[in-house]
Amino acid sequence: MNRTETLNLFLSHAPALHIALLRVYSSYCLEVEITGQPYRALVLARSRDFWLQRIHLHRTRPTLVICYQHDTCLPCAALALDQLPRSTRYRYLARMKAFMQNRAGRPLVA
């Protein structure tokens, strides 16, 4: 699972987790609210990417890491999406793949 798929899985699952999206800073940097507490969240495929991409050296560090697979220790809170129940995970992955497929017909022009 890559970073884009992790972001799509999070966005499709956020209402069920009662997570509100407050602001989008960049493609993978968001401000979310969980139980009234705002977090500056960073979306990663695996939590070890936090160390591999040297995010711990950035000036503004995230207070929450949203990852698909949590496989290392982090200096901030982490939300792992692979801990979803098996049936829920498959349902959301199927929905996400359906959204990523273009439907036949005229392209949508905004």
Evaluate whether residue 91 is within a structural domain: yes
Taking the CA atoms of the chain, what radius of gyration do you get in angstroms?
Answer: 15
Evaluate whether residue 94 is within a structural domain: yes
Give the residue numbers spanning the domain of 13: 3-98
Please tell me the predicted confidence (pLDDT) of residue 85. 73
pLDDT digits (tens, 9 = 90+) for 31-49: 999 999 999 999 999 999 9
As a whole number of angstroms, the distance between CA 74 and CA 44 comes to: 12
Q: Domain count of the chain? A: 1
Candidates 37, 5, 4; CA nearest to 18 is 37
Evaluate whether residue 104 is within a structural domain: no
As a whole number of angstroms, the distance between CA 67 and CA 48 comes to: 9
Please tell me the predicted confidence (pLDDT) of residue 88. 73
Evaluate whether residue 76 is within a structural domain: yes
- Indicate which CATH number applies to the domain containing 37: 3.40.1350
Evaluate whether residue 20 is within a structural domain: yes
DSSP 8-state symbol, 106: S
Evaluate whether residue 103 is within a structural domain: no
Evaluate whether residue 109 is within a structural domain: no
Question: Are 107 and 15 within 8 A, CB to CB?
Answer: no
Evaluate whether residue 106 is within a structural domain: no
Candidates 57, 63, 19, 59; CA nearest to 40 is 63
Indicate the pTM of the whole model: 0.78
Locate 55 and state its tokens: 């995010």
